[in-house]
Amino acid sequence: MKQRLPVQGAQGDLLRLVATGRAASRADLSRLSGLAASSVSLRVEELIEAGLLAEEGSGASRGGRRPRRLSLAPTAGVLAVADLGAHHIRLGLLDLSGAPLVVEERPCEITDGPEATLDLMAEAFDRLLEEHVPATVPLRGVGTGIPGPVDPATLRVVTPSRMPGWNEFPVAEHLRARYDLPILVENDANLMAAGEARSWPGRENLMVLKVGTGIGCGVIVNGRLHRGRGAAGDISHVRVLSDSSVICACGHHDCLEAYASGAALATALTDAGIIVAHTSDIVGLVNDAVPEATSMVRTAGRRIGEVLTVLVNFFNPDVVAVGGSLSAAEPLITSIRAAVYERCLPLATRDLEIAPARAGRDAALLGAGSLLLDAALSPSG
């Protein structure tokens, strides 16, 4: 069953307050929304009637009558979300509060092209829905992360590296032909940033780095994902200073990605006679104290850190969180930290935290859930 959320205007705001855990009673909703108690009650009744909210038991009392506790109805719906990587796809179902119901990962080569990849994704969604969700609970939205730049206006992939056949492919249209629902198509680092932001309460400005096969960065400004025109946070093609010269997949020389990404390190290690198939193999080599690998990861961290010095001074974030498969190699974050603290203004680093990402492997899926809920509740749907 597929269905758009039957909410309008203020109903959506109230539902979002409950879904995100900020409100648990009619009194909370009235206080947080600024609406009069009577109009909150009216809309809550409508949301209960629509099968989206449930109200039961007793909440925390503030004196007087105990308020009844509001929560999302178990039948309110589910979201289907995916995170496409170069060699795998991680996907799952979330409830409307963004909590994962089921998550799985399977091999998938993005070089097989968009149609094969998206059809594989949709088939996996259909199977998960059939196996894990009662037929009475509707699907409310579908979202996917893409390991390349996405134009937020058209939801098309724009000149991605290492993704033959994907340039200008209408990902959203392709999914919409199958699901007549809110569709989210977003750069993977942006999704990861949106998911990671939930793990840093009280921190409003974050840079979330994804260092894996490629290098990405998502930017959270005042608690919200900053997309710009789609390229915001793209640090992979910043030119780095080097004695050598390397050509990047984008056609320019000496991009950060051509020196410091998992793909670049894998090539360099293979050239040095150490065979590496995937980025995770590099982490294994570092953990086994293979000197070439440790040294290359340290240099990669320093190069990333040098690019970050400019960005940290300019943007002055509260947090730089480092995730992605290469982030499990400990020297990476140590060298990033060293470069940033050495070169940034004291005022920029005084309260700065540079730390491993906290949200774990499902960060992008959680981010997709949070952005999809916004999309499902927005007036335009």
| Shortest Cβ 259–Zn ion spacing (Å) | 10
**Best CA proximity match to 266, nearest among 257, 48, 92:** 257
Is-contact 157 186, C-beta < 8 A? no
| Shortest Cβ 3–Zn ion spacing (Å) | 43
| Shortest Cβ 215–Zn ion spacing (Å) | 10
Q: Say if residue 153 is exposed, middle or buried (CB neighbours under 10 Å; 0-12, 13-18, 19+).
A: exposed
Which residue lies nearer to Zn ion by CB, 255 or 296?
A: 255
**Best CA proximity match to 194, nearest among 316, 312, 360, 363:** 363
Is-contact 369 336, C-beta < 8 A? no
CA–CA dist 116, 109 (Å, integer): 9
Which residue lies nearer to Zn ion by CB, 140 or 210?
A: 210
Which residue lies nearer to Zn ion by CB, 182 or 214?
A: 214
Which residue lies nearer to Zn ion by CB, 211 or 321?
A: 211
| Shortest Cβ 250–Zn ion spacing (Å) | 3
| Shortest Cβ 214–Zn ion spacing (Å) | 10
CA–CA dist 123, 246 (Å, integer): 40
DSSP for 67-106 reads PPEEEE-TTS-EEEEEEE-SSEEEEEEEETTS-EEEEEEE
**Best CA proximity match to 163, nearest among 183, 144, 179, 149:** 149
Which residue lies nearer to Zn ion by CB, 255 or 368?
A: 255
CA–CA dist 347, 168 (Å, integer): 42
Beta carbons within 10 angstroms of residue 22's beta carbon: 11
Question: What b/e readout covers 170-209, taking b as 16+ CB neighbours within 10 angstroms?
Answer: ebbebbeebeebbbbbbbbbbbbbbbbbbbbeebebbbbb
| Shortest Cβ 257–Zn ion spacing (Å) | 6
Which residue lies nearer to Zn ion by CB, 237 or 302?
A: 237
Look-up: residue for tokens 């170069």?
86
Q: For binding to Zn ion (CB under 5 A), which residues are involved?
A: 237, 248, 250, 252, 255
Which residue lies nearer to Zn ion by CB, 144 or 161?
A: 161
| Shortest Cβ 248–Zn ion spacing (Å) | 3
CA–CA dist 303, 260 (Å, integer): 7
CA–CA dist 191, 234 (Å, integer): 13
Helices 188-197 and 363-377 meet at what angle, rounded to 10? 90
| Shortest Cβ 179–Zn ion spacing (Å) | 34
**Best CA proximity match to 151, nearest among 112, 190, 116:** 190
Which residue lies nearer to Zn ion by CB, 102 or 250?
A: 250
CA–CA dist 149, 234 (Å, integer): 8
Which residue lies nearer to Zn ion by CB, 235 or 332?
A: 235
| Shortest Cβ 262–Zn ion spacing (Å) | 15
